[in-house]
Structure 1
Amino acid sequence: MDTMKDCTVYKTVDIIGKKWSLYILFELHKGEKGEKGFNELKRKLKDITPKTLSARLKELEEEGLIQKVIDDSVLPVRCEYSLTTSGEDFISIIRDIKAWGLKWKFSNEVCESSVCRLCDL
């Protein structure tokens, strides 16, 4: 029995530790409307490939952190992604990561110019 694979921390990091997962959750949290389409997420996450974005969205949906709503009343069919209650709850962890980074590691011009210290995250 591999105790690492049974560890809650190990399991959680396995879910959210993949590249782009935290960024996707953060982007879905940001803004006034809670839903974003694939292309909007692709624009916000400039360096992500469509293949990776698709894979991460599917994984986050399978883990219950995001939900996908398909609107087939219009053409082309539109898929909207939003955080689930579990995903919204996870935002507090992202807030803690930000607070740690600001306290111990990062104070950079990009963050200061975007009013990072004052954002609601």
Structure 2
Amino acid sequence: MEVCPYLEETFKILGRSWNGLIINYLSRCPEHQAHFTEMKRDLKTITPRSLSLKLTELSDWGLLTKDIVSTDPVTIVYKLTDKGISLAQALEPIEEWAQAHIQLEEQ
């Protein structure tokens, strides 16, 4: 029996550090979008370089867009695409499973 090739490709995206968390984070933001500084602030342990690389990866996969807003100063907004929103929705049952079965250490 073989593994589903579609699932295998999906885990190539989700299996990379931070990708699933960034998708989940943006799915919880108003209009599924956030600025780089907001993500860096809220995803506390990611380095700016790693965040930048991950956002580029996710954009290359068509899961988010990078929009440059002509303000003074110029701001950059990252927003989930319909494809990214769909993946975030597919992750919701996994999040529910995790809440029911994973014990987190007290912080």
Normalized against structure 1, the TM-score is what?
0.76
Q: 1:32 offset after TM fit, Å?
A: 2.7
CA distance in 1, matches of 2:27, 2:91: 11
CA distance in 1, matches of 2:29, 2:79: 12
Match of 1:59 among 50, 57, 62: 57
1:106 counterpart = 2:106: no
CA distance in 2, matches of 1:21, 1:80: 17
Structure 2 residues without counterparts, runs of 5 or longer: none
| Larger relative contact order (CA 8 Å, sep ≥ 6) | 2
CA distance in 2, matches of 1:7, 1:44: 34
Q: Which moved more, 1:44-53 or 1:85-94?
A: 85-94
Q: What percentage of aligned pairs have identical amino acids?
A: 32
Residues 81-92 of structure 1: matches in 2 within 5 Å?
A: 81-92=78-89
Matching residue's letter, 1:7: P
1:50 counterpart residue number: 48
Matching residue's letter, 1:102: Q
Greater C-alpha radius of gyration: 1
1:75 counterpart = 2:98: no
Match of 1:28 among 26, 31, 35: 26
Quote the RMSD (CA, aligned, Å): 2.2
Normalized against structure 2, the TM-score is what?
0.85
